[in-house]
Amino acid sequence: MTMMMKKTTLGPSGIECSAIGLGTWAMGGWMWGGGDNAAAVVAIQASLDAGVNLIDTAPAYGLGRSESIVGTALKGRRHEAVIATKCGLVWHTQKGTHFFEEDGHPVYRFLGRESIFHECEESLKRLQTDYIDLYITHWQDSTTPVAETMDALLALKKQGKIRAIGVSNVSPETLAEYLRHGPVDAAQERYSLIDREIEQTLAPLCSEHGVAVLGYSSLALGLLAGPINPGREFKGDDQRATNPRFSSVNRATLKAFFEELEPLRARLGCSFGQLMIAWTIARGTISVALCGARVRQQAIENAGAGAVELGRDALQLIDGAAKHHLGNLA
C-alpha cells in the first residue's frame, strides 16, 4: 500500500517526484562491503510500492552494477519511476583527471562532449530504458569548459534522451557558470543534520534560480539512523570501517543524542531514522532527501518518513539536541 508521501518538482523541468528518493550507491557494493542483487531489486520495488518514485543511481556505483540492478527492478514499472543517473566519472578513457581506483579500474573525472554521449548510451542500456529523467554531472571536471559540458547535456535533452539537467558536488561559482549556458533543474549535494554547509553556500543560489536541491547522505552513511551497537564491525571495503565519525567515542555521543530525542520519537510513533529524514525535508533547504537502502525493510522504513510531520517545536528540539551533543562530532 502506498504511504502518504510528500511531493516536489525538479526545478524548471516541472517533473514531479517524491520528496524522499532512493539512493542506490550501496547496492553497487563498492565501498559498502559488497552487495546482494536480488535483495536490491526487491528494495527498489518496495520503494515504489511505498510511494518513493525517485530512484538515484550512477555508473560509478559498482562500475555499472547499480544501474543494471535498477534496470532489472523497473522492468514493467518504468512509467512509475523518475530515474536520476549521472555522468562524468569514467573508466572507458583516461582523459580528464584521475580520481580513484575501483575494482582495479582507474576512474577519471571527465565531462567532455563525446564522453557524455558515450556514457548516456551505456546508461540507457543498463537501465533498459530509452530516456533518463534527470541526468547529473557527478563530479566536476576542471579540464573541460562548462560550456562544452552544458552543450552536450542540452543536445541530449533536445534528442529526448534526458528530460532534465542536474549537477552534483559543485561550487556556487561553477553552478553559476552552468546557469549562464542553460537551465539547471537540480543540484545534488550532501545534506543532513550534521552536514549543513550548503545552507550558507549553494542553497541560496539554488533558491534564487529555482534549482531543486537533492540532499544525499540524509542519514550520514547510516550514522543518524539510530544508536549503533558499540560492538558492530564494518567489514570488507565498507568505508565506515575507517571513517572517524563511526568511532566508539562518537557512537557514545550519538547514543546520548538519541536518548534526548526518545520522547519526541515515541510521541510521533516513528523510528529515529525517519525522524532524521523528516528533519531534512522540513528544514526547507532541500527538495528531496536521498536515502540509501539495500533491503526491503530499510526501503519501507525510509519511505515512511514522508508521512512524518514536524512542527516548529519539534524542529527546535532536534536542533537543540544536535547543538548540545553533536557540535564536536569528528
Instruction: Provide the annotated active-site residues.
Output: 61
CB 192 within 8 A of CB 211: no
**Residue 144, all three cell numbers:** 573541460
CA pair distance 156, 1, nearest whole angstrom: 36
**Residue 293, all three cell numbers:** 537502502
CA pair distance 191, 286, nearest whole angstrom: 8
What DSSP letter does each residue of 113-124 carry, written as one string? HHHHHHHHHHHH
Secondary structure tally for the chain: helices H, strands E: 10, 13
CA pair distance 20, 303, nearest whole angstrom: 7
What are φ and ψ of residue 9, in 5° steps? -125, 150
